[in-house]
Amino acid sequence: MSYRIDTRTMNALLTTTLDDYSAEMADTIFGSHYAYYMFKEAGCFKSQDGGAFLREPVMFEVNDTVEWVSGYQNLNTTPQDGMTDGIMPWATMAGTVTISREEERMNSGKARLMSLIDKKLEQLNSSLIETMNAAFFGLGKFNAAQTTVKQMAGLMSLIPEDPTAYDAAGLSGAQPWWQNKVTDNAGSPFKWVPDAGDTPLEATGPKAMRRLYNNCTKSSGGSPDIILSGQYMYESYEGGATVLQRYSDDKLASVGFDNVKFKKAKMSWDQDVMSSSITKAEAAASKACAYFINTSTWEIVYDSQSLFSHEGFREPHDQLARTAPVVFMGNQIIKNRRKNGIMVDANIIVIE
């Protein structure tokens, strides 16, 4: 025999279920995407309690008080500048879960109703994953001057083919100290298996990867630890690698991410990888496109009260339904752009 649940009990039941999902949602969403997972493992996620903007200090000059000294030599106490703030705007994403009164009655009984809510929450979760993943590779809100753009900043503006076109964090891309590294092949496709006559016996693709990796490693701050490419480049590198090069990280493999190692970086692929000159379809099937990322230079900052949080189910005055919004508020910020790079099959300006 079915039974009726009164409004207060229903709201409490639905909200408790949503509480359980909300507590796990960030782990599920950020654990389903290779780069987000790697950022989380590297400790790149940071909570901020509101504020008009996201602010992170950025270093653009060295401290020139450092020197060799002897005896009673006076130390250099010249005040140092060389620091500025990178400023990023907030970006907000929201989705809703709605259950109509008709659906409640058609699924009367606690078990059936909870099954329905579970399916609706799983659907929302999948959509949040796809939306966050797509944003990661787009342009988005890369500086505070963008008042009409809604999506959070992505790789196309934070590690672009043309750094001068995107003033990430409000810092001029024309400044050499703020430019990411760029490698191309003058519009010709990279080769992944060397021809018999090549001297030395090395294909142009792996050679360019090594060059870009080393360029990103220059000066202090470490090396790229993530390489994120399109499917074509990943398969080309994997297929052309020697037996000694073709090894992967077992931990990443155990959580479902195909990967191969390149130097100290862990390389994987994503269907949404693209750049200004390489479409998703080209990156998937015919052209090299890869981002070399140093996670020590990144943060994903989120509002402390908006990490896929909710405010319970509400009943609109003009609908026989209950709706619960789920909200993420945050953005990506890059703190040292020159320690990151992009490699593409294109004819663009090389930055080393």
Instruction: Set out the domains of the chain in order of their start, with CATH numbers.
Output: 166-299+335-344 (3.30.1930)
Q: pLDDT: is 21 or 121 the higher one?
A: 121
Average pLDDT over residues 124-143: 91
Give the whole-angstrom CA distance, residue 209 versus residue 232.
15
3-class SS of residue 238: helix
Q: Is the pLDDT of residue 270 over 90?
A: yes
Res. 85 pLDDT band, cuts 50 70 90: confident
Calpha distance 280→272 (Å, rounded)? 6
Give the mean pLDDT of 82-91: 78
Residue among 50, 49, 72, 75 nearest 64 (CA): 75
In DSSP notation, 203-222 reads -HHHHHHHHHHHHHHSSSS-
Distance CA 339, CA 226 (A): 12
Q: What are phi and psi of 148, to 5 degrees?
A: -105, -15
Which distant-in-sequence residues (6+ apart) come within 8 Å of 116 by Cβ?
99, 103, 107
Range 101-109 average pLDDT: 73
- 312/287: higher pLDDT: 287
Give percent of the chain above pLDDT 70.
83
pLDDT (0 to 100) of residue 82: 53
pLDDT at 1: 34
Q: Which tokens in the block code for residue 123?
A: 């659907």
Q: How far apart are CA 222 and CA 224, in angstroms?
A: 7
Give the confidence band of 7 by pLDDT, cuts at 50, 70, 90.
Answer: low
* Residue 5 reports pLDDT greater than 80: no
pTM of the full structure: 0.84
Contact 275, 161 (CB under 8 A): yes
User: Residue 59: what pLDDT?
Assistant: 59
Give the Å distances, CA to CA, from 129 to 29, 95, 135, 254, 320. Answer: 5, 11, 10, 20, 29
| Three-state SS sequence of 121-159 | HHHHHHHHHHHHHHHHCCCCECCCCCCCCCCECCHHHHC
* Alpha-carbon span 53 to 331, nearest angstrom: 10
Looking at the DSSP assignment, which residues form a beta bridge with residue 302?
47, 330
Phi, psi angle pair for 191, to nearest 5°: -100, 145
For the segment 196-206, the average pLDDT, to the nearest whole number, is 73
- For 286, the token pair is 């015919």
Buried b (16+ CB within 10 A) or exposed e, 107-138: beeeeebeeebeebbeebbeebbeebbebbbb
Is 348 in contact with 160 (CB distance < 8 Å)?
Answer: no
More confident residue, 204 or 20: 204
300 - beta bridge partners?
45, 332
Question: What was the pLDDT predicted at 296?
Answer: 93
Of 258 and 349, the one with more pLDDT: 349
- Residue 228: is its pLDDT beyond 90? yes
